[in-house]
Amino acid sequence: MKSFIESSGFFKGNDPEQMLAQFGSPLYVYNEDILRDSMRKVMRMITKYKFTPNYSIKANSNLTILKIALEEGLNCDAMSECELRLLLHAGFTPDRILFVPNNVSESELKFAYDNGILTSLDSVDQVESWGKIAPGSKIAVRLNPGVGAGHHEKVVTAGKNTKFAITDDQIPALLEVAGKYDLKIVEVTQHIGSLFMNADPYITASRNLLHMAMNFPGLEFIDFGGGIGVPYHKVSQDEQPFDFQRLTEGMEAILDDFVKEYGSTPVFKAEPGRFIPCESGVLLGRVYATKNNSGKLFAGTDLGMNILVRPSMYDSWHDIEVIRDGKPVYEGDRQNVNVVGNICETGDIIARERDLPVIRRGDILCVLDAGAYGYSMSSNYNCRLRPAEILIGSDGAVKLIRRADTFDDLLKMFDV
Ligand SMILES: Cc1ncc(COP(=O)(O)O)c(C=O)c1O
């Protein structure tokens, strides 16, 4: 058993005890080098054709991370008006933003249109709403390629069991409504689901999307969506990273066939969310109590489900490292333990029956791969305050990139 935080030099010499003392526990910590490295990997996903990846900011919308994405040359996609506003605030020009909403009000659509942001509409009804607001304009449409993939049924977003996108049989109705409002379909998009470690479903779905794209002459863009996974079991099971080479080869082969047949060559896009910030982020928390309840061992921490909901929501696995006296503990006696939080739910479990070094009160736990869908899905449940986020720069300097909530922040909402 190795230590990721040690082998990657994650904290760059900063002491976790010191960071918690300064910024409070729990604490999200990001490593800028790892973050930039994953951004550069997705930039090279397709090299043979014009390609622009959109960072899907729902994974982590911290403003500093968005500004780093801007510097690295990524475009972005957004799911809501406030994500759009945040991207504009970060400095993205409208042509570098794609709005990919689902079931939104006309005022949200109008916001995108008024700001010149191309929008991928995912139902014939939303195309109708758009047509009324902006007849004669350019639109994108989100299609269902019939193949979905993901780590949990809740995040499979194509195939037969999903609310998302326009299916093959709805294309005639789509074309009719687009024609009625003189809308020009300039982009088709898909997103098949979140977290797969094997490129095959993505390539199969992309082949289907390219086939569907034949219905839409003159496309400027084709977007294959996100979903690229990270090895959440890299410490516990030596899980290997996603095979980008296989993805690139498979995608470029189907694109070769497509461009011959289609007659023109659109710009290709993808929408990776998780892959970009996930491994660059860890969550630190403190153990406040250990106990043996009817033969089950518990390590009670401040890492509640409000801070990182993935384990309770999807039964997701995050590798955990124990830190004592500033150093990872990965040798010595082990135990089978349930790592739990401080929220009033029995389901408030971060790791179930996990084989870990013996945990003591006062230890720090470091939850790996917490950079995606961590803070962005956090809440104030139980009136708990969301933690701070800090970034460790390439030079090892620590920067506060979001302060923790305060009780006054909660109270302000009642100031009506
Ligand atoms: C439309 C769309 N694009 C991209 C993504 C990003 O997915 P991932 O984080 O798995 O790459 C999502 C995630 O839900 C999505 O809904």
Looking from the CA of residue 195, the nearest atom of ligand 1 is: 10
Q: Report how far Cα 325 is from the mean position of its chain's Cα atoms.
A: 32
| CATH for 246 | 3.20.20.10
Q: Tell me how far the alpha carbon of residue 331 lies from the centroid of ligand 1, in angstroms.
A: 38
Cis omega (within 30 of 0) for bond into 277:
no
Residues 151 and 51 in one domain: yes
pLDDT band at 1 (very low <50, low <70, confident <90, very high): low
In a domain? residue 332: yes
Q: Identify the three-state secondary structure at position 110.
A: helix
pLDDT higher than 80, residue 311 = yes
Residue 21 lies in a domain: yes
Which domain, by its residues, includes 338? 4-28+278-412
Express each pLDDT in 168-208 by its tens digit: 899 999 999 999 999 999 999 999 888 889 999 999 999 99
If asked whether residues 359 and 392 sit together in one domain, one would say: yes
Domain boundary residue, one of 270, 292, 307: 270
User: Residues 50, 115: one domain?
Assistant: yes
Q: Is residue 51 part of a domain?
A: yes
For 169, other C-beta atoms within 10 Å of its C-beta total 7
260 inside domain: yes
Does residue 128 sit in the same domain as residue 262? yes
What is d(CA 400, CA 381) in angstroms, rounded to the nearest whole number? Answer: 24
Q: Where are the beta strands (DSSP E) in 327-387?
A: 327-329, 334-340, 349-357, 364-367
Whether 266 has a pLDDT exceeding 80, the answer reads: yes
pTM value > 0.85: yes
pLDDT of residue 147: 73
- Identify whether 76 is a catalytic site residue: no
Atom nearest to 120 CA in ligand 1:
1
Residue 174 Cα to ligand 1 middle (Å):
23
Q: Whose CA is nearest to atom 16 of ligand 1?
A: 191
| Residue 40 included in any domain | no
CATH label of the domain that carries residue 291 = 2.40.37.10
Cβ distance 39 to 55 under 8 Å?
yes
- What confidence score (pLDDT) does residue 331 get? 86
**In-domain check, residue 189:** yes
Do 50 and 169 reside in the same domain of the chain? yes
Would you say residue 41 lies in a domain? no
| Mean pLDDT on 15-41 | 98
At 357, phi and psi to the nearest 5? -55, 150
Q: Are 318 and 389 in contact (CB under 8 A)?
A: no
**Residue among 142, 271, 280, 369 to mutate when testing ligand 1 (max atoms within 8 A of CB):** 271
Report how far ligand 1's centroid is from the alpha carbon of 2 (Å). 31
Question: Of 207, 236, 270, at which residue does a domain stop?
Answer: 270
User: How many Å lie between the centroid of ligand 1 and the Cα of residue 157?
Assistant: 9
pLDDT tens digit string along 235-265?
999 999 999 999 999 999 999 999 999 989 9
Same domain assignment for residues 156 and 240: yes
pLDDT value of position 237: 94
Residue 149 has pLDDT above 80, yes or no: no
Clarify whether residues 299 and 337 are in a common domain: yes
Q: Are residues 250 and 291 in the same domain?
A: no
Instruction: Give per-residue pLDDT as tens, 37-77.
Output: 999 999 999 999 999 999 999 999 999 999 999 999 999 99
Position 378 in a domain: yes
**In terms of domains, do 211 and 91 share one?**
yes
Same-domain pairing of 325 and 364: yes
Among 247, 270, 293, the domain-final residue is 270
Q: What is the pLDDT of residue 210?
A: 97
Using most ligand atoms within 8 A of CB, pick from 79, 144, 194 the residue to mutate for ligand 1.
194
Residues 288 and 249 in one domain: no
**Ligand 1 first shell, C-beta below 6 A:** 56, 58-59, 77, 100, 157, 191, 194-195, 225-228, 271-275
Q: For residue 294, give every residue at least 6 positions away whose Cβ sits within 8 Å of its Cβ, in sequence order, or none.
A: none
pLDDT band at 93 (very low <50, low <70, confident <90, very high): very high
Same-domain check for residues 16 and 157 = no
The count of domains in the chain is: 2
Separation of 100 CA from ligand 1 center, angstroms? 10
Task: Tell me how far the alpha carbon of residue 402 is from its chain's centroid.
Answer: 18
Residue 198 structure tokens: 């094997």
Minimal-distance CA residue to ligand 1 atom 13: 194
pLDDT of residue 139 exceeding 90: yes
Which one of 76, 82, 344, 366 is the catalytic residue? 344
Mean pLDDT taken over the chain: 95
**Pocket test residue of 39, 45, 54, 58 for ligand 1, highest count of atoms within 8 A of CB:** 58
User: What are the structure tokens assigned to 10, written together?
Assistant: 């994650």
